[in-house]
Amino acid sequence: MNQITMKWMAGLCFLAILYSLWMLNPRQQISAQKAVYHWKTNFYWSAEPNDVRKFLNAHGIQKLYIKMLDVDYSKASGILPVSKTSFNYYSDYKKDSIEFVPVVYLSNEVFKRMLPQDRDEYAKKVLSHVLRIQTYTHYWPKEIQFDCDWTVDTKEAYFDFIIRCKKWAPQFSYSSTLRLYPYKYREKLGVPPVNRVMLMLYNLQNAKNMANANSLFSLQEALKYLKRKDYPLPMDVALPVFSWTIIFRNGQFYRVISDNIIPKLDSEVQLKPLTNNKFLVEFSPRNFNDYDLKAGDILKVETCGEKELVQANSLLKILPITQASTVALFDLDMNELNKISYEKIEAAFTISR
């Protein structure tokens, strides 16, 4: 056997060993805890449609993050709840089959305006609203989540508010939502004083800029923030499955409606398609109160569907996610979820290493 033949056989043996090792160590699949956000202004559990119940049961959803309250600031009224979720009583659901996590959205403006001496009082008020969940669902929560896009200017106020909530109700675990910007720039924006964070893999660009193709999600944009592979707190992740409509008036951002309103518009509203997701309002009846549309408005519909969900899930492999982490879909809207196959939804809850 000459030297060339021996080298060739040695190379084949090396490849065979590599193949065997690959077969013995296949790609690791981690199944996270499954969750969904309920972001509507009512929670009528006993009256939820059958497709909602079927979805939760089919995918074995373990947690439901329920928005309880929106807190904002206005010059006329100061800091106050602008939206409170209404509940109905129910007793027809097995209590240990799903965990309810109450969520409070607090605008950044709240913490610009909240005086230090008032934080204790606001902490107590917010907690009293949050704990309404026990009255209606007969479920005492383990975790309370705060949703806030804090900035450098408001981090001290927001973090102190959380500390005061923990002082008044230390029996709960606390979590905070985390956007990609403070994930990357944690030295500047700080790490919230909570037990864990929920990294939101959406709302990546400025929705007020009409030129952005999809401000809700862009894989390339997300990757810019994910060079770091660690975080000082245990991490959960929320993936986008929703649409919204942005209204521009006189060329300027006017408002956002958390839904695709195009199919729901009154037949009298006349639209002219400008692109595949932009529409010019050519005519709208006077006093059209549902969406306050006027002729000349431009409607831009942005959607996160199956493609965006798959792309967002692909980012989990580079994040500090473990089997103890929760992967949540945002949000429980069957109009969007019904467009995605069962297999793709199941795959969204799985992390590949």
The answer to whether the Cα torsion of 107, 112, 114, 117 is positive or negative is: positive
Position 1 pLDDT exceeds 70: no
Asked if 33 and 325 count as a contact pair (C-beta separation under 8 A), the reply is yes
pLDDT, tens digit (0-9, with 9 covering 90-100), for 245-285: 999 999 999 999 989 999 989 888 999 999 999 999 999 88
pTM of the model: 0.88
CB atoms closer than 10 angstroms to residue 249? 15
Same domain for 49 and 119: yes
Same domain for 144 and 166: yes
Dihedrals phi, psi of 317, to nearest 5 degrees? -70, -15
Same domain for 189 and 94: yes
Q: What is the pLDDT of residue 19?
A: 45
Same domain for 292 and 276: yes
Higher per-residue confidence, 323 vs 219 = 219
Same domain for 250 and 236: no
| Domain annotation covers residue 282 | yes
Same domain for 80 and 53: yes
| Domain annotation covers residue 10 | no
> C-alpha distances in angstroms, 90 versus 43, 48, 49, 93, 133?
10, 11, 14, 8, 12
Q: What is the pLDDT of residue 45?
A: 73
Number of domains in the chain: 2
Q: Range of 255's domain?
A: 243-302
| Domain annotation covers residue 107 | yes
pLDDT, tens digit (0-9, with 9 covering 90-100), for 190-248: 999 999 999 999 999 999 999 998 999 999 999 999 999 899 999 999 999 999 999 99
Asked if 255 and 248 count as a contact pair (C-beta separation under 8 A), the reply is no
Same domain for 262 and 118: no
Q: Is 331 in a helix, a strand, or coil?
A: coil
Q: What is the pLDDT of residue 289?
A: 59
Same domain for 215 and 108: yes
| Domain annotation covers residue 15 | no
Same domain for 321 and 295: no
**Paired sense of beta strands 298-303 and 42-43, if any:** unpaired
**In this structure, what is the dihedral angle of CA atoms 120, 122, 124, 127, given to the nearest 10 degrees?**
-140
